[in-house]
Amino acid sequence: MPELRKDPVTGRWVIISTDRSKRPSDFRIERPAVIGVELCPFCAGREDMTPPEVLAFRNHGGAPNSPGWDLRVVPNKFPALHVEGNLDREGEGLFDRMNGIGAHEVVIETPDHGKTWATMSEPEVERVLWAFRERILDLKRDVRFRYILVFKNHGAAAGATLEHTHSQLIALPIVPDFVREEVEGAKHHFSAKERCVFCDIIRQEVAAGRRIIHENADIVALAPYAPRFPFETWLLPRSHAARFEDAPRNVYESLARMLKSVLQRMNRTLECPSYNLVIHSSPFSEQATDFYHWHVEVMPKLTRTAGFEWGTGFYINPTAPEEAAQVLRNAKL
Amino acid sequence: MPELRKDPVTGRWVIISTDRSKRPSDFRIERPAVIGVELCPFCAGREDMTPPEVLAFRNHGGAPNSPGWDLRVVPNKFPALHVEGNLDREGEGLFDRMNGIGAHEVVIETPDHGKTWATMSEPEVERVLWAFRERILDLKRDVRFRYILVFKNHGAAAGATLEHTHSQLIALPIVPDFVREEVEGAKHHFSAKERCVFCDIIRQEVAAGRRIIHENADIVALAPYAPRFPFETWLLPRSHAARFEDAPRNVYESLARMLKSVLQRMNRTLECPSYNLVIHSSPFSEQATDFYHWHVEVMPKLTRTAGFEWGTGFYINPTAPEEAAQVLRNAKL
| CATH code (residue B40) | 3.30.428.10
Are B169 and B195 found together in one domain?
A: no
| ipTM of the complex as predicted | 0.90
Are B67 and B193 found together in one domain?
A: no
CB spacing of B319 vs A21 below 8 angstroms: yes
User: Where does residue A61 fall: left (phi above 0), alpha (psi -120 to 50 degrees), or beta otherwise?
Assistant: left
From A166, A214, A280, A295, the catalytic residue: A166
**Cα B29 to Cα A105, A273, B25, B45, B267, distances in angstroms:** 32, 10, 9, 31, 28
Which of A13, A30, A277 is opposite residue B157, by nearest beta carbon? Answer: A30
3-class SS of residue A252: helix
Are B80 and B200 found together in one domain?
A: no
Are B56 and B105 found together in one domain?
A: yes
Residue A166 bears catalytic tag: yes
Question: For residue A298, what is the nearest residue in chain B, using CA coordinates?
Answer: B311
Which of B5, B95, B270 is opposite residue A24, by nearest beta carbon? Answer: B270
Q: ∠ CA A63-A65-A71 to the nearest 5 degrees?
A: 95
Is residue A91 included in any domain, yes or no? yes
Query: Tens-digit pLDDT profile for chain B (333 aa)?
Result: 899 999 999 999 999 987 654 555 555 444 567 888 999 999 999 999 999 999 999 998 889 999 999 999 999 998 989 999 999 999 999 999 999 999 999 999 999 999 999 999 999 999 999 999 999 999 999 999 999 999 999 998 888 889 999 999 999 999 988 899 999 999 999 999 999 999 999 999 999 999 999 999 999 999 999 999 999 999 999 999 999 999 999 999 999 999 999 999 999 999 899 999 999 999 987 788 999 999 999 999 886 555 567 667 788 898 999 999 999 999 998
Range of the structural domain that residue A309 is part of: 178-236+248-329
Are B269 and B142 found together in one domain?
A: no
Are B184 and B325 found together in one domain?
A: yes
Are B208 and B139 found together in one domain?
A: no
Cα–Cα nearest to A329, from B62, A37, A177, A321:
A321
CB spacing of B27 vs A303 below 8 angstroms: yes
- Chain B residues with CB-CB distance to A213 below 8 A: none
User: Residue A62 corresponds to which amino acid?
Assistant: G
Average pLDDT over residues A113-128: 97
Last residue of a domain, one of A174, A193, A222: A174
Is residue B25 included in any domain, yes or no? no
Are B73 and B184 found together in one domain?
A: no
Q: How many domains does chain A have?
A: 2
pLDDT tens for B208-257 read 999 999 999 999 999 999 999 999 999 999 999 999 999 999 999 999 99
| DSSP state letters, B273-326 | -EEEEEEE---TTS--TTT---EEEEEEE--STHHHHHHHS--EESS-HHHHHH
Which of B27, B185, B306 is opposite residue A230, by nearest beta carbon? Answer: B27
Is residue A242 included in any domain, yes or no? no
pTM of the model: 0.93
CB spacing of B12 vs A226 below 8 angstroms: yes
Are A213 and A253 found together in one domain?
A: yes
Instruction: Determine how β-strand A95-99 pairs with β-strand A90-92.
Output: antiparallel
pLDDT value for A217: 97
pLDDT tens for A27-72 read 544 456 788 899 999 999 999 999 999 999 999 888 999 999 999 9
- Could you tell me if A224 and A232 are in contact, meaning their C-beta atoms sit under 8 angstroms apart? yes
Are A110 and A200 found together in one domain?
A: no
Element holding B91 (H helix, E strand) = strand B90-92
Last residue of a domain, one of A132, A155, A174: A174
Are B163 and B242 found together in one domain?
A: no
